[in-house]
Structure 1
Amino acid sequence: MKTNEYETMRKRIALTGLLMIVLNSCSAQKTPATQLDAKHKAPLNVLVFMIDDLRADLGTYGHPHVLSPNIDKLAEDGVKFTHAYAQQAICGPSRVSIMTGLRPETTGLYTIRRDGRLRPNQPNIVSMPQLFKENGYKTISIGKVYHSVTDDEENWTTHIKKLDNFYSEPGNAEKKFAYEAGEVDDDFYKDGKVANDAINILKQLKEDKFLMFVGFSKPHLPFNAPQKYWDLYDREQFTVPSRNKPDNMYSLALTKWGELRMYGGIPKEGDTNDELTKTLIHAYYATVSYMDAQVGRVMSALDETGLRENTMVIFMSDHGYKLGEYGAWNKHTNMELDTRVPLIISRELSNRNRQSGVTSSALVENIDIFPSIAEAAGLTMPKVDGISLLPLLDNPDRPWKKAAYSLFNRGKTMGVTVTDGAWRYTQWRDAATQQIKYSELYDHTRNDVAQANVSGQLQYKALEQKLQTLLQEKFPLNAPPFYQKRHVNNR
């Protein structure tokens, strides 16, 4: 080979090697398109509407009378769950369960605590605001989020408490009647004030990623709402439900009144008559429509600020409610009316996989909210009892849980219950020994009102055995006593 030819070849080899080095370097530094999208995508915000005492009586759930246009609109923009369940039908334990993703039997909290302590048994459990704030989120609590307890103050960036001197009910504060129709503006009552605060804070959050809880108290007692929401209904359109108790119901399965007898205008003993029953039902639904209007105001602000594009919205209730069924009122039971809740999840508009206007009949639980929003935000979840619902948001009809679980305590007796979405099976056990005292099996294939306890009847033997097996998975008979102090570290 001639010298000049050799030199030319050598230069070509050198240039080729240099080119390969450059290409390899570029390849090593190149970020996949998905990573680039994730890097430059605006962070997820989360807005949770936490509603008090709301059963699944809304227009979007097929109620023939209830007017809830703003909640209905949210359902049209997301996924509506028809079989969502609270883990205990009382505010305090239910809300702790929601905010930690842990069942009451894990937290060991079965009653409303008066000492304000969220973590009396588990000082190391991680709550929703705690996790999000640790990951750079502004965490905002407005109105009623917890009940009688609160998270550590350092876990909230902004915490507008439900103070008596601000979020009180000014209309009936002295006489404490169970209901009121005031010739007033929306912000005369506390949910209007909560909405005002939420709107004002949203206007300040354009540059921040946030987790915001907006806790509306209605339709909790007292049933106070501006007159215009009462005027949406004709009391004669409401029917008085049957006061009949289910046949063979356990003696401790039902509470009649809850806090209702504490209010003026309510008989101190005996049933409410038909006229008062209609008035209370009218009052309840007036407050539902009032609360719905406040949801609409906050959602409008979310749109107007441009935050809706990257904000996941969740609408949920802490538990259900009875409106005179069985001659009973309020919650405080394991019955379907008290444990079933509305749940709507609408993903951020920028999400490419978002579903809208769809319904899922999957069995889901309130403890699933924490892991769902944590996964959506890309956060590492602590160990919890719930599971993420994101797969259902992508595919609402996919196979899911076989059962949903709740409980309710009656002192030395604990009621543990399971539903498969059609039937509800409950065991009442000695809280110390787990010995079964009584069993109940109710048919809910047609509606949420139980007619008869058919536990032990031969024709339902196979069904009852199936539900017994499902109940055993969460509440084994060899489990420790329910009131035994528990220690949980879910980090």
Structure 2
Amino acid sequence: MLNHSSLSLLSVAFSLAIISGATAAQPRTNVILIVADDLRPELGCYGSLAKTPHIDSLAKRGVLFERAYCQQALCNPSRSSFMTGQRPDSLGLWCNGTHFRDLRPNVITIPEVFKKNGYVTRDVGKIFHNWHTAVKGDPQSWSAPEFLHYENHGNDQPKLPGVNIADLKNHATAPKTFAYDVPDEAYFDGRVADEAIRVLKEVKDQPFFLAVGFWKPHAPFNAPKKYWDRYERTQLPKLDPRWPKNGVELARHEGQELLGPPDKRLKLTDEDVAEWRHGYFANTSYLDDQVGKFLRAVEEAKLNNTYLVFVGDHGYHLGEHELWAKTSCYELDARVPLIVVPPSGENGGSKVLSPVELIDLFPTLIAACGLTTEQKLDGKDLSPALTNATALGDTIAFTQHPRPAYYDRTPSKTPTAMGYSVKTVAARYTEWRDWNTGKVLAMELYEHASDPHELNNTSSAPADPAILQSARTALHRQFPPEVVPAKTAR
């Protein structure tokens, strides 16, 4: 029997345990962040004909954000933005060739918050913009060197022991298109999935933040042949190539990533266009299988205290609006897939219709895990939507892009204009402003109830003037008129 003295000692020990956090508390919450490259919401769970059963299954378990938007439709600005919780204007970063650390060396990233709080943080694949912007990696964010950090998309050629690429038969014919009959691991994403599984086994018994960056469906369109075989090309949805009525010339872009520079621009036949679209769907299914392989390992690890997030860095054009690839403010470039699976599995299969932004990921993830940061964040916490799909109400989301679309941030190659765009529940409104003065050069309004594909710019004569006024007010509140981005970036 315990005497009074023993009870007193137990009481003191219990009190000390509470103070030190050594009680049998709930285990710390982990995060797995899966990022796809150039993936518009071309997924079965978003109503597409794309064959993506594994990501679709993830959506059934979690909360799907129907209207999620990147802050700029280009890899480095988008990833730098959502991984730091800062808008491109806050970073002063709108191009691919500049590392965010060169501009803001002390800016805090999402994994950095976890690392500072005792988590092991790991990166497999493409999370930041890799070879262009971070040759030395980002040791401030990660507990170990990044996997496939020094690679680039052009290097994603089949690698098979004892096999020469020249000996493989290419079953595709369009430029930048390949359909080799090779295993998944011949390409980057097959190896990313395998490495992610290995790292998961390594970290699963400690608090962790694991980021897994897949490279697809980014071009080249080179998924293994079996993924091409999943689609009948004639049954794929037809694209609408029309330029918008009353379209704004500043909204155009070169599409040089796929088509090449203006002096060497590819001339595509109808067959080439069809094959590129087929290749994008094949790449997407290849991505889905690699995500599925990794998710099976997650299930086998029985991680009951882990948030799972799947997101794309920005959208993509496949010939719509006469455009290819990204770098516009249109819905097809700005809208991305976003799925969040909380540990509880609560509200699995629910859909959030409120517009949200990728910069919302930072505050959402640290709040979900009970962490904080001293850094000012530009986004909002989406946690209420994980338990109530209508909790966010009529929110808005912003996207921007400079013109010219690609430049290298040298004094001789600064932009001439910046497009600022707001997505409300009812419409998309964009202002193109002079880079040096902030003066509005052109406007676009697409009223989505009657024009979901953004084919009629009604800014000069809107069907509903109240929609225009509401969107313009929201845009000006976030991005005041005649403010010069180059002079206001922190």
TM-score by length of 1: 0.86
Q: Paired residue for 1:201, among 199, 202, 226?
A: 199
In the other structure, the counterpart of 1:10 is none
Residue 164 (structure 1) shift: 3.2
Residue 45 (structure 1) shift: 1.0
- After superposition, residues 172-191 of structure 1 pair within 5 angstroms as 177-191=175-189
In the other structure, the counterpart of 2:104 is 122
Matched, 1:78 2:82: no
**CA distance in 1: counterparts of 2:234 and 2:22, whole angstroms:** 56
Residue 397 (structure 1) shift: 1.2
In the other structure, the counterpart of 1:363 is 355
**CA distance in 1: counterparts of 2:22 and 2:236, whole angstroms:** 53
TM-score by length of 2: 0.86
**CA distance in 2: counterparts of 1:455 and 1:165, whole angstroms:** 40
Matched, 1:373 2:365: yes
The secondary structure found in structure 2 opposite 1:182 is coil
In the other structure, the counterpart of 2:90 is 106
**CA distance in 2: counterparts of 1:422 and 1:271, whole angstroms:** 37
In the other structure, the counterpart of 2:427 is 423
Q: Which runs of 5+ in 1 are unaligned?
A: 1-17
CA contact (8 A) 1:363 1:403 kept: yes
Amino acid in structure 2 at the alignment position of 1:302: V
Q: Which runs of 5+ in 2 are unaligned?
A: 160-164, 404-414
In the other structure, the counterpart of 2:271 is 275
In the other structure, the counterpart of 1:388 is 381
In the other structure, the counterpart of 1:96 is 80
Measured on the aligned residues, the alpha-carbon RMSD in Å equals: 3.0
Which range moves more in the overlay, 101-110 or 150-159? 150-159
In the other structure, the counterpart of 2:138 is 152
In the other structure, the counterpart of 2:475 is 471
Q: Paired residue for 2:334, among 301, 322, 339?
A: 339
**CA distance in 1: counterparts of 2:216 and 2:468, whole angstroms:** 37
Q: Structure 1, residues 428-477: CA drift from partner, whole Å, max 9, x if none?
A: 11122211111110122367521111002164322211111000111012
Matched, 1:58 2:43: yes
Q: Would the alpha carbon gap of residues 448 and 224 (structure 1) be closer, same or farther in structure 2, given more than 3 Å must change?
A: farther
Q: Structure 1, residues 410-439: CA drift from partner, whole Å, max 9, x if none?
A: 121110000103310000111222111111
**CA distance in 1: counterparts of 2:446 and 2:388, whole angstroms:** 30
In the other structure, the counterpart of 1:324 is 319
Q: Would the alpha carbon gap of residues 167 and 412 (structure 1) be closer, same or farther in structure 2, given more than 3 Å must change?
A: closer
Which range moves more in the overlay, 457-466 or 436-445? 457-466
- After superposition, residues 439-450 of structure 1 pair within 5 angstroms as 439-445=443-449, 448-450=452-454
Runs of 4 or more, structure 1, over 3 Å off, are 28-32, 35-39, 164-168, 171-177, 266-271
Residue 270 (structure 1) shift: 6.9
CA contact (8 A) 1:168 1:189 kept: no
Which range moves more in the overlay, 416-425 or 338-347? 416-425
The percentage of counterpart residues that share the same residue type is 37
Residue 257 (structure 1) shift: 2.2
- After superposition, residues 120-269 of structure 1 pair within 5 angstroms as 120-147=102-129, 148-150=132-134, 152-158=138-144, 159-164=146-151, 168-171=155-158, 177-262=175-260, 268-269=264-265
**CA distance in 1: counterparts of 2:16 and 2:181, whole angstroms:** 65
Q: Would the alpha carbon gap of residues 30 and 169 (structure 1) be closer, same or farther in structure 2, given more than 3 Å must change?
A: closer
The secondary structure found in structure 2 opposite 1:245 is coil
Q: Structure 1, residues 111-168: CA drift from partner, whole Å, max 9, x if none?
A: 1125xx3223322211112111111111111111111224632431122133339993
- Paired residues, what number? 457
Q: Would the alpha carbon gap of residues 271 and 259 (structure 1) be closer, same or farther in structure 2, given more than 3 Å must change?
A: same
Q: Structure 1, residues 268-291: CA drift from partner, whole Å, max 9, x if none?
A: 547533221111111000010000
Residue 355 (structure 1) shift: 2.0
In the other structure, the counterpart of 1:4 is none
CA contact (8 A) 1:186 1:192 kept: yes
The secondary structure found in structure 1 opposite 2:286 is helix
Residue 177 (structure 1) shift: 4.5
In the other structure, the counterpart of 2:402 is 409
CA contact (8 A) 2:55 2:288 kept: yes
Q: Structure 1, residues 228-278: CA drift from partner, whole Å, max 9, x if none?
A: 111110011124423220011111102252311249xx9954753322111
- After superposition, residues 22-41 of structure 1 pair within 5 angstroms as 29=15, 39-41=24-26
Residue 37 (structure 1) shift: 11
CA contact (8 A) 1:87 1:104 kept: yes
Q: Would the alpha carbon gap of residues 166 and 403 (structure 1) be closer, same or farther in structure 2, given more than 3 Å must change?
A: closer
CA contact (8 A) 2:158 2:182 kept: no
**CA distance in 2: counterparts of 1:186 and 1:432, whole angstroms:** 48
**CA distance in 1: counterparts of 2:23 and 2:339, whole angstroms:** 26
CA contact (8 A) 2:89 2:488 kept: no
CA contact (8 A) 1:325 1:449 kept: no
Amino acid in structure 2 at the alignment position of 1:284: Y
**CA distance in 1: counterparts of 2:118 and 2:65, whole angstroms:** 30
The secondary structure found in structure 2 opposite 1:296 is helix
**CA distance in 1: counterparts of 2:93 and 2:103, whole angstroms:** 8
Q: Would the alpha carbon gap of residues 267 and 57 (structure 1) be closer, same or farther in structure 2, given more than 3 Å must change?
A: farther
